[in-house]
Amino acid sequence: LSVAAPGGAVASVARFTLRNCQLMNGTSMAAPHVAGVVAALVSGLKAKSLPYSPYSLKRALENSATHLSHVEPWAQGCGLVNIDKAFEILSSHHDAPERDVWFSLQCGSGA
């Protein structure tokens, strides 16, 4: 998956640390954001009884991402995650045939 997500100046601190706040940056903050987006998408699809696959979720997230004009292309992948557009894609293309395609790769011992 190649998308960007908010990951700068996030105040994410567990209460047991006894700190009021701590600003954190980077992938450690962006990855939970994307995980939450995926969880919300799956929840919405299940609520509407729409089929999905890991591939369809990846495709929807990448195709719906918003390009950031002020960020270098190599630093943003497909762009900033856009949950509304991703859900729209998944809802309107839920019968796309490639959802039924799965790949299994195995590396043999060479014998």
Q: From the CB of residue 16, how many other CB atoms can be counted at a distance below 10 Å?
A: 6
The answer to whether position 76 is within a domain reads yes
Domain assignment present for residue 107? The answer is no
The pLDDT tens digits for 15-57 are 666 666 666 677 777 888 899 999 999 999 999 999 988 888 9
CA distances from 72 to 29, 38, 52, 69, 103 (A): 20, 25, 31, 8, 32
Residue 59: which domain range? 10-94
Report the alpha-carbon distance of residue 22 to residue 27 in Å, rounded. 16
* pLDDT > 70: percent of the chain: 76
pTM of the model as a whole:
0.73
Residue 35 belongs to some domain of the structure? yes
Q: How many domains does the chain have?
A: 1
The candidate with the shortest Cα–Cα distance to 38, out of 15, 17, 61, is: 61
Closest by CA to 83, choosing from 49, 55, 43, is 43
Please say whether the beta carbons of 50 and 91 come within 8 A. yes
Q: Are 30 and 5 in contact (CB under 8 A)?
A: yes
Contact present, 18 and 50 (Cβ < 8 Å): no
Is 55 part of a structural domain of the chain?
A: yes
Q: Is residue 109 part of a domain?
A: no
For residue 2, tell me if it sits in a domain: no
Please determine, for residue 93, whether its predicted confidence score (pLDDT) is greater than 80.
yes
Local structure of residue 99 (DSSP, 8 states): G
